Amino acid sequence: MKKDKIFSKYLHYCPVCGNYVVKPWFTKDYAGLQFKVDKCCACGSGYINPQPPEEYLQSLYSCIGHGSKSFTSLKDVIASEAEFPNSTVDAKRMVTYAKKVLGTKKEDYWKALDIGSGYGLFSRAALDQGFKVVAVNPAITENSIFKELNGFDPIPLFFEEIDFGDEKFDLVILSQVLEHILDPLEVLIKVRNLLEPGGVVAIAVPNVDAILIKILKSKSTFLGLPEHLFHFSRRGLGAILQRAGLNMIHHVYYSRIPYFTLSNKFNLHGISRKSMNLFVKVLQWPPLLLANLFGYGLYQNVWAIRIQ
């Protein structure tokens, strides 16, 4: 794809809250291209503007999903989670709270839809808590590991491409997905229409006000460009959910830095690696706790229910 065709759609308004007062935030170079990011003066959310076309994004996501680390086997996934519990922790938190909101179901099971299901750890958490799960994920490499973990195949398409007919779900999981979508409002409206009355959508996204962005600004790799098209604030999440017919009922900030960050840098193994991992785990806890308390946490979890 030619460079002059990469960016074609310029937005004169904030696609998160709809406000027309926006300002340039920063620019960042990637693979010979310059990505410009604007920030909304009303909700504080950021977004790439102009946007790249869908074909460009599909070329990024079709192999290893939404920018996640590429593993070659389920053994690698399990080993990574054992050294640094990450997705397993998030999955349990998101599904557990959603189940609390749903309460007791009269039928035999709840139904969950896992969008951008990755290696299957969120689907696994839902299965373990009594949900019947449908998963959607276009990344072929991830899907083979997903099947090995969960015993069934995800639908190998982008969520926007799928017609679910009259099928409804009690829970929809969107973990680290919404920031990768060209039109998050359209996707959330579709999610709303797929929810049963009283159904819950559980969302995880990076925080636009994360302490790493505050300190490093455009130099921060936490911005995740170009895969991260959007950088949501708490206010922005509330606004876009409301516009989609969903009501935010709970929000939390959470933060953690991979325990093996320094171990990898210094190529440590064995006891030295375990000791360094423990050191990083303990050292990061107080400052990241404070960051969460003051709204500068690295990530956000939000749960919302369908507005009747």
Instruction: Give the model's confidence band at 64: pLDDT under 50 very low, under 70 low, under 90 confident, else very high.
Output: low
Spatial contact of 246 and 306, defined as CB atoms under 8 Å apart: yes
Tokens of 173: 């999981």
pLDDT score of 1? 47
Distance of CA 114 to the CA centre of its chain: 12
Neighbour-count burial of 242, counting CB atoms closer than 10 A to its CB (0-12 exposed, 13-18 middle, 19+ buried): middle
pLDDT score of 67? 47
Each residue of 218-274: pLDDT tens digit? 788 888 888 899 999 999 999 999 999 999 999 999 999 999 999 999 999 999 999
pLDDT score of 62? 59
Please tell me which residue, 154 or 60, carries the higher pLDDT value: 154
Spatial contact of 179 and 230, defined as CB atoms under 8 Å apart: yes
pLDDT score of 193? 97
Q: What is the DSSP string of 238-266?
A: HHHHHHTTEEEEEEEEE----TTHHHHHT
Report the C-alpha gap between 94 and 71 in whole angstroms: 23
pLDDT score of 51? 86
Q: What is the mean pLDDT of the chain?
A: 91
CATH numbers and ranges of domains, the chain: 3-306 (3.40.50.150)
Distance of CA 193 to the CA centre of its chain: 20
CB neighbour list of residue 159: distance below 8 Å, 6 or more residues apart:
115, 116, 136, 187, 190
Spatial contact of 30 and 6, defined as CB atoms under 8 Å apart: no
Report the C-alpha gap between 296 and 303 in whole angstroms: 19
* Residue 161: pLDDT over 80: yes
Each residue of 199-232: pLDDT tens digit? 999 999 999 999 999 998 878 888 888 889 999 9
* Residue 106: pLDDT over 80: no
* Residue 26: pLDDT over 70: yes
Q: What is the pTM of this model?
A: 0.92
Q: Which residues of 48-68 are buried (b: 16+ CB within 10 A; e: fewer)?
A: bbebbeeebbeeebeebbbbb
pLDDT > 70 in the chain, percent: 93
